[in-house]
Each structure stands twice: as C-alpha cells, then as structure tokens.
C-alpha cells in the first residue's frame, strides 16, 4: 500500500450520520487505532 494513499469512510443515510446509531446497529464494534498510517495498514490486514 502506497504511503500517499488516503482512506476515507463516509457514513450516509439510514441514521448512519449519527455515530451512536451506527455503532448501536452494527454487527461489529469499532476499533480505536493510533492516527498513524502504519496503524491503519495493520488494522486493514496489510
């Protein structure tokens, strides 16, 4: 994965703009990772 690659997640529609609703109805729980590209790459399994 190139270091210049930017990953953006957009939540829209069906109440997903409200993070509490999105988490409440999600089948998986969010994870917290450091704000570092290496952490994102590792979390994505690369």
Domain boundaries, the chain: 15-46
| Tens-digit pLDDT profile for residues 1-45 | 566 777 777 666 666 677 888 788 888 888 899 999 999 999 999
Global model pTM greater than 0.75: no
Number of Cβ within 10 Å of residue 35's Cβ equals 6
Give the separation between CA 46 and CA 39, rounded to whole angstroms.
10
């Amino acid at each position: 994965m190139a270091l210049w690659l930017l990953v953006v997640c957009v939540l829209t529609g069906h109440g997903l703009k409200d993070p509490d609703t999105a988490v409440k109805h999600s089948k998986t729980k969010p994870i917290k990772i450091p704000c570092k590209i290496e952490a994102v790459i590792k979390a994505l399994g690369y």
